Amino acid sequence: KMQRHRKISLERLEKFSSDSVWTDVNLRSGVYSAFSPVSSLSSFSVPNLARIPYSQLAKYEDQFSHVSVGNSFGPSWSTHWFKVQIEVPKSWEDKEVHFLWNSNSEAMIWENGEPKQGLTGGSGCDKREEYIITQNAVGGTKYEYYVEMACNGMFGCGDGCVGAPDPDRQFKLDQVQIGLFNRKAWHLLCDFILLSDIAKELPENSPTGSDALYVANRIVNTYYADDESTIDVAQKLSDEFFAKKGYAQAPMVHAIGNCHIDTAWLWTYAETRRKTARSWSTTLAYMSQPEYRDYKFACSQAQQLEWLKEDYPTLFEKIKTKVQEGRFILTGGTWVEMDGNLPSGESFVRQFLFGQRFFYKEFGAYCTEFWLPDTFGYSGQLPQIIRGAGIKYFLSQKLSWNIVNKFPNTTFWWEGLDGSRVLTHFPPADTYTSHANVKEIVKSVQNHKDLDRSPNSMLLFGHGDGGGGPTLQMLHAIHRLENVPELPWVAYKTPYQFFTNAEKLAKDRNLHVWSGELFFELHQGTYTTQASTKRQNRKGEVLLRDVEFLLTLAFVWDRQAHPYPTQEINRLWKILLLNQFHDVLPGSSIEEVYKDTEKLYSELQTSGQILLEKGQNTALPFSPATSSLATMSLHGPQVIFWNTLSWPRREVISVPNHLKNLFPIKMSLQPVETEDQTLIVVEVPSSSCQIGETAFHTMKHDEVVTLSEDGESFTFENQYLSTKITHDGLVISLIHKASGHESLSAPANRFIIFEDVPFFWDAWDVLVYHLEKVKATPKAIQHRVTERGPLRVAIEFEVKLSETSHLTQKVSLTAFGKYLDFDTTVTWHESHKFLKVAFPLAVKSQQASYEIQYGHLQRPTHFNTSWDLARFEVCGHRWADLSEYGFGVAVLNDSKYGYACHGSVMTLSLLRSPKKPDAHADLGRHSFRYALYPHGGSTPGDGNVPRVGLEYNSSILVTAAVPIDEVFGGHKPVFEVESLCLKSHFTSVVIDCVKKAEDDDAVILRLYESSGGRDTVKLKVGFPFVTAVLCDILERALQPPTILPLLQGALRIEFLPFQLLTVKLILGPSS
């Protein structure tokens, strides 16, 4: 008879299933009734931290030696192969036998040359130590396995969370044996845990919860560890409980297994290649068990599948079979689960282009959902890009981590800047690594914020981040909890099934709409951490843009002579896309990852520069390489200047001194002190080049820039700006001459060092209280004038940031410069410090504008509400702008992403110095540029900020060659965009990408409206084409087909605010 002591009874139930106390008498005691040692155990330790595949193991057979349980293996990241020989005892005839392994690390079991299942050591909840040898043993049967032991835990080699790895960690081999498995006892144990959880999680007065408590207590009273017959009696009690059914109208939890493998984080890319095999082989092993025939598993990230195809081809083929069966569900559509803020618009496009094409090529279908559960915020342009990839559904959950405001929706329409919408779901269990327990299933209803409009939800279950995936206990739980009174229905459903059902309900139930970015109120330090990685990403994006532009033109002019190197360009894009993974580009991985990324970025730059040089010399209508000797002799060597942007440019640029002899004698030149460079002024048309002296601009008297000194400050002045700079490097005045406006309200270019100590997530977080604790506001300790005009004036300043860190900065203004430039080099050796630069602006506005992918958005400059306060540090790309009626000031940069604007003070975040998980993050030398750009107009678009930001990041390219045709001087733009709505013909539409199509000889143009307004433009194309059609970002023609009309020989295209369009130019036959 059960006594009325609920609290004590619940405690009793907990102990009766515990794996740490009373295991000799509780339910755990019956799961394995006997154990036997293995017949033989030997190992081979792979030298030099190498990871040799199974296919090469035969050559090392003579290096295996005997080892024993209790031995330790290391160091961190090393690999050790074990040969295990087993003989089943004859007394275990017809029984189920398991192989049990625990090396306190990750491992993989191999049989007959194939990966069979991953193993996870240790004592945590993600432990996976069993492998089913047979469910119907034949006594005396012998088995031989190889076990590949990786000396890292599921979460690397650190302190068990986010600490830097211990390079000399040792892993103890605690268990190697076989066990006699009692499936009935295990089944009862799993049921009992569910009964206990139902009793605990449902209200005390719940009929079902009370019944579960009563039944579970009866099971405790029924079971005896020394009497196996009591298992059947206890199981009957459990079966009677689970036979009771709930009501048909209960909300449904759509369950899907997953293992969310971070492509790199607390481990390297190389280890991820093995994690995928360990996790997915386990998934397939569980799918093969008859009792889990309805088990479905979701998998994203094409990159990981490509690695699996390369490294484990037989496993890849097995996955293809399960995909065809509808059980291994491919989702996401991207190359990796990338960061949602930092990549450029074109990088986002390529994530989908490469991902969707891979899924279609290998598996015959495109993904129908964008799957990004764990990234640190979501750009307001993602809905448009998602829809452009043929996807209309989106799943995430990261905003459940917000520390200021609770996000108000679960299932809703997310609307992007251009008005595109995607149906979005945040699983209300608030996790993508659910344990499929009662608590999380109950939370799926209790935390559902849209039950009245969309009652169903998704549950993503399985160990993740480091992989692993669902356990057998989780699969059992999903099956048993399918229809329990007072709980929601639970059933395996695919993401597509969930979303199509939600979409049907949305037609009648008026789902909420969330417009603009999904801002994550945490991890705002990731806009700045690992500055070198972010710089290399920006430089890589610019380089590949230029490479594609030039090589596409070369291909257009002569397809036979200059075939487009699709394979090589795509290889470089894959490097860039890989490093945009959401723990790599944000700066939250271990040091070993960034050693790998530096090598990859070096390869990208080296190979990219080779392609760029080739493009500069072949993108002319006729290649210099094919010119006749007579023509070469006639014209002589010339310099070619390329402008890959879609508007003409006049700029002061630097060129190598060895090209000086190619310049006209009378042109304006200015040598650069201490550099092998000369300054010149060039004019280059839109999307084209200028050759030789036709590019050189002859300076007028009033176009020069001057420098003067009054004893306390320096004055720079050109035709656009006048600025005063003090001897300690502060800018005390910046006048926009066209309007007469002073840009500054106080001295600017002020460096501020904050103490930066977050709660826990060191590399990830900067918290609002850092603003309260300024460590230092260093100023310059010395200066010198380095350039005095007429093309550029400059002063170099030395700033002592601390006893261990210093900064050198060249402040300059060019003759045609509309911004004041700050070229900066920092030697940084700090701990938990945050370096920013501040600009108090003489501008008043309630909102500042920040560039994002294909446009910009506004964020508050005040802390009126908690939602405003949460945006104390925000992400932007090439610029941020504060404008009032008629005037504004923008801060430009070449490699930074973190900004803030409080009141009228705008700051740019420069460097951080966290210690976890990379103890040396950001330490060393950094180079970057930023600029102050005052402008007329009331918005960034009015002030031409988007164009100036692009120019700041995209240099005019310079090369030496011999032109073939005297008539062709590069005067005609290859592409030119003009507005049909404005008399000036100025347009905010930008050509962001020019490339060859993936599958045919067409040319792809990607254009976007950059300022938030409607426009109808005419696009002039400087080469012949047959027709032009609109297509999606996967380069598929829109349905119904949209052929662009021709207007006076130019294409007519209409744009909505911030709209992205992809145009496909169909070329005629190759001549």
Catalytic residues: 374
Q: What is the 3-state secondary structure (H, E, C) of 443-476?
A: HHHHCCCCCCCCCCEEEEECECEECCECCHHHHH
**The residue to which tokens 């744009």 are assigned:** 1055
Q: How many CB atoms within 10 Å of residue 321?
A: 11
**The residue to which tokens 């949305």 are assigned:** 506
Q: Coil, strand, or helix at residue 139?
A: coil
And the tokens for 862?
A: 């005040």
Reported as half-sphere exposure (CB side, CA atoms, 13 A), residue 711 has a value of 0
Q: Cα(794)–Cα(807) distance, rounded to whole angstroms?
A: 16
Chain centre to alpha carbon of residue 988: 28
Instruction: Say if residues 537 and 576 touch (Cβ distance below 8 Å).
Output: yes
Q: Cα(582)–Cα(579) distance, rounded to whole angstroms?
A: 9
Q: Dihedral (C-alpha) 193, 197, 199, 202: value to the nearest 10 degrees? A: -160
And the tokens for 691?
A: 């050759």
Q: What angle do CA 862, 868, 872 make, to 5 degrees?
A: 80
Q: Cα(697)–Cα(702) distance, rounded to whole angstroms?
A: 14
Contacting residues for 695 by C-beta, under 8 A, at least 6 apart = 639, 641, 682, 683, 684, 970
And the tokens for 23?
A: 């295991």
DSSP result, 882-920 = EEETTEEEEEEESS--EEEEETTEEEEEEE----SS-TT
Q: What is the dihedral sign for C-alpha 187, 190, 193, 197?
A: negative
Instruction: Say if residues 679 and 792 touch (Cβ distance below 8 Å).
Output: yes
Q: Phi and psi of 255, rounded to 5°?
A: -95, 140
Instruction: Say if residues 316 and 305 touch (Cβ distance below 8 Å).
Output: yes
Residue 865 CB-density burial (10 A; 0-12 exposed, 13-18 middle, 19+ buried): exposed
Of 412, 388, 395, which is closest to residue 332 (Cα–Cα)? 395
Of 776, 792, 788, 794, which is closest to residue 725 (Cα–Cα)? 794
Chain centre to alpha carbon of residue 97: 43
DSSP result, 511-566 = --EEES-B--SS-GGGGTSSHHHHHHHHHHHHHHHHHHHHHHHHHHH-TTTS---H
Of 88, 104, 94, which is closest to residue 144 (Cα–Cα)? 88
Alpha helices in 927-1015 (DSSP H): 945-953
Q: Cα(194)–Cα(190) distance, rounded to whole angstroms?
A: 6
Q: What is the 3-state secondary structure (H, E, C) of 76-93?
A: CCCEEEEEEEEECCHHHC
Q: Cα(953)–Cα(568) distance, rounded to whole angstroms?
A: 24
List the beta bridge partners of residue 721. 736
Of 256, 307, 660, 309, which is closest to residue 493 (Cα–Cα)? 256
What b-and-e string marks burial along 280-292, b requiring 16 or more CB atoms within 10 Å of the CB?
bbbbbbbbeeeeb
Q: Cα(5)–Cα(148) distance, rounded to whole angstroms?
A: 50
Q: What is the dihedral sign for C-alpha 1010, 1016, 1021, 1024?
A: positive
